[in-house]
Structure 1
Amino acid sequence: MIISYKYPIFPDEATQQKLAEALDACRWLYNRLLQELNEAKEKGIKLTTYDTQNMIPVLKLENPKLNLVYSKVLQMVNYTLWSNIKGLSASKKNGRKIGRLRFKGYGWYKTMYYNQSGFKLDQDHGCLHLSKIGDIKIKMHRKVQGCIKAILIKREGRQWFAIVQADQEPETLPATGKSVGIDVGLKSFAVDTDGNSVENPRFAEKVATKVKNIQRRLSRAMKGSNNREKFKEKLNKVHERINNQRLDFLHKLSRHYVNNYDIICVEDLDVKGLKEKGYNKGTHRNIHDASWSKFIFMLSYKAESAGRKLIKVDPRNTTQRCSTCGSIVRKELSDRIHECPYCGFSCDRDYNASMNILIAGMEQPVVPIESKPLHHISVMQVLAMKWEALPSRVG
């Protein structure tokens, strides 16, 4: 399976200039190929991936800066364009209202893809060589395992990163003999069938006022001024910090479940569909901040690499159904306690949902169970990984 490793790189000023010029050349090529596709569509001509790829040598004559970029990287620009087109087509088939593919403005093309060749990574000396760019210092905080297939160079604000993709064999963890059902939500980020209630970190909400103040000052600054660039950089740093905090939390929580359970059952959530429902703006922001999809994605690939099993179940009625007798007990969002009028079972609504998720995932019959008092797990406990003795493998 393909595993990605992300490392910070530290190009000098001359190399940064080369990287920036290469990215802008890739942006120009992306826009030019998109223009060709739009013009061909208006004329009723249907182009293929190979047609646009064959245009690249001709476009090098039109824009000599393309010669400063490794040929495979230019081919991957064409691949990215067609991947975006296919993604839009798939969304349209699913009934979503999607417009046309947009052109990339200055600074909006941030990734170069070296696929299979054009790079050399010296892990012992922390040096990355890129064709037509040169040598760049790279901070290898852990060694890459397996065969390196590709390297992506990404600009995030003023920082540069290398994302190394390697094909490696799954490292199976020893069996634990345990299974778990997890219900994700907004009041608690996750409640599981062992009675653990993980606090929702709400990283974006905690700095919402700060973000709003910076955005207000940014909107008032004159376009093109140094002041505007200063506030733009401040805003980027705040968002980068939020994203880093969120990723750290999700990585450690997902690693805990993969390390400690053989079978993990979760809801097969349509998060985009939830965002399109008639919730208020605050609820939409909270759903986005929670990043349930990212958490489930992390569970998925980590479970696969560790020889665990992730089961996604139909989310319908997981909250409304009684986990003891199977009866449907209707609840509003404000109802935090599940009280079954048929069998008398009472527990936290999220714990009841987690039990239903486990029952559905394991395809077990409904049997009487005992209510468990929830054990609150703080964000700091997750980040410190101290709420249970865990194996040393983290990340």
Structure 2
Amino acid sequence: MLISYKYRAYPDATAEARLNTALDTCRWLYNKLLEECTTAREAWIAPTIRGMQARIVTLKEENPFLKDVYSKVLQMVNYTLWSNIRALSQTKKRGRTIGKLRFKSASRYRTLNYNQSGFKIDREHSRIIFSKIGTVPFKMHRPYSGEVKGVLITRSGDRWYVIIQAERGASESKREGRSVGIDVGLNAFAVDSDGAVIENPRFYEHSRDRFRKLQQSIARKQRFSKNWKKTKRKLEEAYEHITNQKNDFLHKLSRQYVDTYATICVEDLNIKYLKENGKSRGLRRSILSASWGRFFSYLSYKAESAGTNFIQINPGIRRRCAQTAEVL
């Protein structure tokens, strides 16, 4: 299984300038490949991922600035594009109305993917040497384990992060231990079969007024002016703070359950259906803010690495069991 470890990075001015240039170059390549895919489809020619991969080679000859970015990173741009195309195709097959893939703006392309090569990790000095970028120090607040398969470096506002992806084997299942069932909700985030009630922290609801004021302030300012950019950065930082709060809560709660129980059971909820078919906008927003899917995801991969049994039960089976129990 592949585990991701996220660390805060601190590139110097030179490395940061190279990172920003590389991001802009990758964004240009993404948009160029998307444009050529769209043109080919309009001409009734089916583009392929291999064809676009070969196209990168000719684009590098036509545009020498592409050579300033490590070749594997450029290849992963094409992989990202086709991952988005496949995801859009799967959404269409499920009967949903879809549009077209959008071109990436400067603020929407934030990650360089060094997959398998192009980097060297110096664990002793907590730094990574990236090809065509240089040395980037990072704060290793917790050790990583396993065979490193790749490193991503991403920008979030004015901050940089490195994500080390390492492959680890799953632990053997625990043969004995306590079991627990967890039922998620909105009034209480979770209620388990041992009677514990986990309050819903409602991070977004508590900060909604601040978001609204910042959004109104942005709307009143001239687009792309210094004050507009400054206020927009404040809004991004506010959203990042909420995301960090939510992730911290979900990580700690999922870790607590995985360390305490040998078997964890949850309902296999169709969260996307609940969000799309909520009776009101407020209900849909509350379901989105609760992040049940992320909680289940954290439980799943933590359980796999710890040898805990993680079981998702079909809600229909649970209802039938409850009805049978009432009859008996």
Report the TM-score, using the length of structure 2 for normalisation.
Answer: 0.96
> Cα gap change, 1:104/1:158 in structure 2, threshold over 3 Å: closer, same or farther?
same
Other-structure match for 1:316: 316
Aligned residue pair count:
328
SS of match in other structure, 1:55 = helix
Amino acid corresponding to residue 261 of structure 2 in structure 1: Y
1:167 Cα deviation after fit: 1.1
Q: CA RMSD in A?
A: 1.7
Other-structure match for 2:281: 281
1:265-304 correspondence runs (5 A): 265-304=265-304
Gaps of 5+ in 2: none
- In 2, the alpha carbon distance for the partners of 1:326 and 1:101 equals 50
- In 2, the alpha carbon distance for the partners of 1:252 and 1:51 equals 45
1:324 Cα deviation after fit: 8.1
Cα deviation digits, residues 118-163 of structure 1 (max 9, x gap): 0000011111100000011111112221111100111111111100
- In 2, the alpha carbon distance for the partners of 1:230 and 1:28 equals 25
1:93 Cα deviation after fit: 1.1
**8 Å contact from structure 2 (residues 173, 309) kept in 1:** no
- In 2, the alpha carbon distance for the partners of 1:324 and 1:271 equals 24
- In 2, the alpha carbon distance for the partners of 1:278 and 1:125 equals 50
1:282 Cα deviation after fit: 1.0
**8 Å contact from structure 2 (residues 9, 162) kept in 1:** yes
Gaps of 5+ in 1: 328-341, 343-366, 368-395
SS of match in other structure, 2:107 = coil
Task: Report the structure, 1 or 2, having the larger helix content.
Answer: 2
- In 1, the alpha carbon distance for the partners of 2:224 and 2:305 equals 48
1:258 Cα deviation after fit: 0.8
Q: Which moved more, 1:103-112 or 1:195-204?
A: 103-112
1:326 Cα deviation after fit: 2.9
- In 2, the alpha carbon distance for the partners of 1:86 and 1:107 equals 23
SS of match in other structure, 2:79 = helix
SS of match in other structure, 1:7 = strand
1:1-395 correspondence runs (5 A): 1-171=1-171, 177-316=177-316, 318=318, 323=322, 325-327=324-326
1:322 Cα deviation after fit: 7.7
Report the TM-score, using the length of structure 1 for normalisation.
Answer: 0.80
**8 Å contact from structure 1 (residues 181, 192) kept in 2:** yes
SS of match in other structure, 1:35 = helix
Runs of 4+ in 1 over 2 A off after TM superposition: 61-64, 169-176, 320-327
SS of match in other structure, 2:149 = strand
**8 Å contact from structure 1 (residues 123, 143) kept in 2:** no
SS of match in other structure, 2:316 = coil
1:60 Cα deviation after fit: 1.5
- In 2, the alpha carbon distance for the partners of 1:317 and 1:280 equals 28
- In 2, the alpha carbon distance for the partners of 1:172 and 1:141 equals 27
What fraction of aligned residue pairs are identical, expressed as a percent? 51
SS of match in other structure, 2:265 = strand
- In 2, the alpha carbon distance for the partners of 1:283 and 1:9 equals 37
**8 Å contact from structure 1 (residues 176, 260) kept in 2:** no
Cα deviation digits, residues 269-291 of structure 1 (max 9, x gap): 11111011142111111111100
**8 Å contact from structure 2 (residues 278, 284) kept in 1:** no
- In 2, the alpha carbon distance for the partners of 1:230 and 1:176 equals 55
- In 2, the alpha carbon distance for the partners of 1:94 and 1:258 equals 34
Amino acid corresponding to residue 113 of structure 1 in structure 2: N
- In 1, the alpha carbon distance for the partners of 2:126 and 2:201 equals 35
- In 2, the alpha carbon distance for the partners of 1:252 and 1:172 equals 22
Cα deviation digits, residues 149-204 of structure 1 (max 9, x gap): 10011111111110000112334586552111111000000001000110001000
**8 Å contact from structure 1 (residues 73, 115) kept in 2:** yes
> Cα gap change, 1:248/1:269 in structure 2, threshold over 3 Å: closer, same or farther?
same
